[in-house]
Amino acid sequence: MNKYRILKPEQSYTFNQYFLLPNPTIDVVAEFEYSYDRTELQLPRYLADISYLEFLQNYLQRNIKLFNPTAEISIREFMIAPILAEICDQTKAQLYSEYPINVNEKLKGTLDYYLHKSNSLLVIEAKQSDIRRGFTELAVELIALEQSLDEQSSILFGAVTNGDDWKFGTLNRQQKLITEDIKLYRVPEGLEDLVRVLVGILSSET
């Protein structure tokens, strides 16, 4: 737990500015009176057959061969958006890009992707690199979302990805606890595991 203030009281912060902070996640979330843990999460998993998995695998492998995305916008377009679009089409979840949130001067900005279905929701933060710092930004986004929601969801889910690796996290609303998953899901070789978790989250009633 940090013993000094990281955030300047008079300064306004957007989500992206938390990515630039050198401080560890535990100290940043403590600014908002949340605790932090790092462990292997037991995430929801969809266990039935996934009919579109082969199509998605081939589509992503083609993109990997044809393109060498280095900018964040290219990674989102060629590696992340196709997965989310297919999953939302199949699960009938709503998909928002650049979703704005403005809770206060310390919790504001846009979510790269926001997926919503019934009481289930998922935040995706896309990064060109450094998903370690990207998780800190994701954690703050989850805190902002938690403070702006009326839904009764007890657990909020999020993931940060650079297109190749995906790292999940959760926010427990009752415990005010941010948990970072120590496991990475890698695309394309781990696509099935990733899809089963994404669909599982959107199909869960948390």
Question: Whole-angstrom Cα distance, residue 44 to residue 79?
Answer: 23
For residue range 32-74, what is the model confidence (pLDDT) as tens digits? Answer: 999 999 999 999 999 999 999 999 999 999 988 887 766 677 7
Q: Domain residues for 121? A: 28-203
- Report yes or no on 3 lying in a domain: no
Give me the residue label for tokens 């949130």.
Answer: 101
Confirm whether 16 is domain-assigned.
no
Identify whether 14 is part of a domain: no
Q: Is 9 part of a structural domain of the chain?
A: no
**Residue 69 confidence (pLDDT):** 65
Please count the structural domains in the chain: 1
Tokens of 109: 């900005």
What mean pLDDT do residues 189-206 have?
92
How far apart, in whole angstroms, are the C-alpha atoms of residue 164 and residue 111?
A: 19
Q: Is residue 17 part of a domain?
A: no
Q: Could you tell me if residue 11 is inside a domain?
A: no
What pTM value is reported for the model? Answer: 0.93
**CATH classification of the domain holding 131:** 3.90.1570
Residues 47/204, Cβ–Cβ less than 8 Å? no
Q: Is residue 82 part of a domain?
A: yes
